[in-house]
A and B are shown apart, each in its own frame.
Chain A
C-alpha cells in the first residue's frame, strides 16, 4: 500500500469523497439561495428547513403512501416548491417594500415553525430512510471504496447544478431572470410579468432545496434539525462565493466541501471551522465574495 505525504490513500480519498458529498449539498443549497437573493433581495432563512422538509416529505411518501425514492426525487421538489409558492404569495410578497431585514426575520420565523411542528410530531432522534436497492453496495476502485449511493449523489447534484446554470445563463428564460435581477422595473415596462417570475423563482429555489433533501435522506438521518445545522455552513459558502453569482455558488459549494475534507485529513481539529476562517479572510480581502460583482 502506497502513501501520500504520510497519509494512507484510503483515508485521503475517503475524506475527499465525503468532502465532495458535503460539497454537493452546499452547492445545491447555495445555488437556490443565490437565485432567490438575486431576484427577491431576500435572504431565505427558511432554506435549511425546506431542505429538511424535502427529506421528511420523502420519508412520508415512502412510509404512508409506499411511494419509492425514485418517484420522491420527482414529486418532493414539486410539493416543497408548491409550499414555497404559497409562502411567497401569502407572506414574503408583503415585505418587498420594506428593508431586507424583515424578510430575513420572516423566513427565519417560518423555519422555526416548520422545525417545531416536525419536532413535535416526529421527535429529534431521526427517522431511517434506506438507500434504494438499485444503489446499494459499492465499487472497489483499488485506491478506495466508493459506495454507489454516494457516487449517485455527486452525479445528481452536478447534473442539477449545471442544468440550472445552463438555463439561467444560456436560455431566453434565464435572460429574463438575469435582466429582472438587475432592473425589475424596466423588465416590467417591457410587458413581462415580474411578480409571477418572482413567485416561480422562489418556488424553484425552494424546489432545489427539497430535491437536496431527498438526496440527503438516505445519507443523513431524517430529523427536524438536519437543515438548521447545514444552513449555517451554506450561508458561509454563499458569502465566500458572492451573493447572486450562479456559477460562483456552484464552484464554491463543491470547492469548500473538498477543502473541508482535506482539512479533516491534515488537521482534523480545524475541519469544523475552516469554512468560517475562509469566510473571514474573503470578507477582509474581497467583501463582494470570490465571484461576486461589486455594485
Chain B
C-alpha cells in the first residue's frame, strides 16, 4: 500500500489537472453534449475549437456545473466534481469568464472587480490587475456596463484573477473586439501562462488561438472529434478549415 502510493507519486506530478470523461449535458430536455473527453495538464493553455453550436460554451458551463443536468466525470486535481454545485466547484480553484462577460449593470466597475470572493490564497493583487489593464483603474467609479466592450472583457478577466483560482475557463474573450484589444488579451493570456495559470479557452478565431495555445481540441456535435498540437497546426490547416467550415 505504502509502496504503491510512493510509486504513483511521480505519475501524479504529470497527471492532468482537469480531466473530462464522457461528459454529457442537457439544456432542459435538449441533449447538448454527447460524451466530451479531454484533459488539461497543469500550466497548459488549451482551446476548444468548433463551429457555432458545436458545444464549446456548453462544455465550459458543464465543467463549471451551471447547467441543469450533467453526467460523466469531471475531475479537478484528482477530485471528482460531477456531483458538486457550481459554488463548490468554484471553491476548488476554477474560475469562469462567460461569453457575454457577465458584467453587472447595477454594480460599479470597482464593485464588479471586487465581487468574486477569494477561493484560494495567492490571488493577484488589484495593483497587478491594473498593470495588465490600466483602463480599468481610470474607470473604477463608472457603472459596469458603461464600459466599452474591450474594457468589459478586461474587467471580466481581471476580476477572476483576484480570486486565487489558477485554472481559468475563458469563453470567447476576443469576440467582437478590435484587433488592438485582441492583442492585449493575447499578451495577457501569454503572461498568465508564464505565471503558471492553466487556461481552457473557447475560440472561434483559431488564428488567435494559435498564438496562445499549446493544444487544440475540435468539438463537433457535442463531442471532441480531434486533437491537434499547436506545433502541428500548419500541417493540419486543411483539416481544420474543414472542421470549422472556413
Contact with B along A165-206 (1 / 0, CB 8 A): 000000010011011011101111111111000000000000
Chain A residues with CB under 8 A of B111: 175
> Residues of A contacting B64 with CB < 8 Å?
189
Cβ-neighbour of A190 out of B65, B88, B116 (below 8 A): B116
Q: List residues of chain A with CB within 8 A of the CB of B96.
A: 186, 189
* Neighbouring B residues of A185 by C-beta, 8 Å: 66, 86
Q: List 20 A-B contacts (CB under 8 A).
A: A175-B107, A178-B106, A178-B107, A182-B105, A182-B106, A183-B102, A186-B66, A186-B96, A186-B98, A188-B87, A189-B64, A189-B89, A190-B87, A190-B90, A190-B117, A190-B160, A190-B163, A191-B90, A191-B91, A191-B117
In the complex formed, the residue of A with least CB distance to B102 is A186
> How far is it, in angstroms, between the C-alpha of A188 and the C-alpha of B111 when the chains are bound?
16
Per a CB cutoff under 8 Å, which of B66, B104, B106, B160 touches A188? B66
Does B140 touch A at the CB level, under 8 Å? no
B119 near A191: Cβ-Cβ < 8 Å: yes
Identify A175's interface contact among B90, B102, B114, CB under 8 A.
B114
Q: In the complex, what distance in Å separates the CA atom of A183 from the CA atom of B96?
A: 14
Q: Is B85 an interface residue (CB 8 A)?
A: yes
Asked if A191 meets B116 with Cβ closer than 8 Å, knowing A175-B111, A185-B66, A185-B86, the reply is yes
**Measured between C-beta atoms, what is the minimum distance from B120 to chain A in Å?**
10
Structural contact, B90 and A182, CB atoms closer than 8 A: no
B115 touching A191, Cβ below 8 Å: no
CA of A178 to CA of B86 in the docked complex: distance in angstroms? 19
Q: How many angstroms between the C-alpha atoms of A179 and B106 in the bound complex?
A: 7
Cα A175 to Cα B119 in complex, Å, equals: 18
Chain A interface residues (CB < 8 Å from chain B): 172, 175-176, 178-179, 181-183, 185-194
Most chain B CB within a 10 A radius of its CB, from A182, A191, A194: A191
CA distance A183 to B114 in the complex (A): 16
Q: A182-B105, A189-B90, A190-B87 are in contact. List 15 more A-B contacts (CB 8 A).
A: A175-B111, A175-B114, A175-B115, A179-B106, A179-B115, A182-B106, A186-B66, A187-B115, A188-B66, A188-B85, A189-B64, A189-B65, A190-B115, A191-B87, A193-B87
Are A194 and B115 interface neighbours, CB within 8 A? Answer: no
- Complex CA gap A38/B102 in Å reads 18
Interchain CA distance A187-B117 in the complex, whole Å: 10
Task: Provide the bound-state CA to CA distance between A160 and B65, in Å.
Answer: 38
Chain B hits for A172, CB < 8 A: 114
How many Å from the CB of A244 to the closest CB on chain B? 9
Question: Which residues of B line the A interface, CB within 8 A?
Answer: 64-66, 85-91, 95-96, 98, 102, 104-107, 111, 114-117, 119, 160, 163
Chain B residue nearest in CB terms to A175: B111
Neighbouring B residues of A191 by C-beta, 8 Å:
87-88, 90-91, 116-117, 119, 163
Complex Cα distance, B160 from A75, in Å, reads: 40
* Alpha-carbon gap, A176 to B66, bound state (A): 18
Residues of A within 8 A of B114 (CB): 172, 175
- Closest Cβ neighbor of A170 among chain B residues: B111
A275 to chain B, nearest CB (A): 27
* Complex Cα gap A181–B107 (Å): 11
Bound-complex Cα distance A192 to B119 (A): 10
Task: Determine the residue in chain B with the shortest Cβ distance to A186.
Answer: B102
- Candidate in B85, B95, B102, B117 with the most chain A CB atoms within 10 angstroms: B102
Smallest CB-CB A-B distances: 10 pairs: A191-B90, A190-B116, A178-B106, A175-B111, A186-B102, A188-B86, A179-B104, A189-B86, A191-B91, A189-B96
Tell whether, in the assembled complex, residue A192 and residue B87 are in contact, meaning their CB atoms are under 8 Å apart: yes
CB distance from A164 to the nearest CB of B (A): 16
Q: Is the CB of A178 within 8 A of B87?
A: no
Chain B residues with CB under 8 Å of A175's CB are: 107, 111, 114-115
Tell me the bound Cα distance from A148 to B83 in angstroms: 59
In the bound assembly, the distance between CA atoms of A178 and B117 in angstroms comes to: 15
Query: Shortest distance in angstroms between A260's beta carbon and chain B's nearest beta carbon?
Result: 30
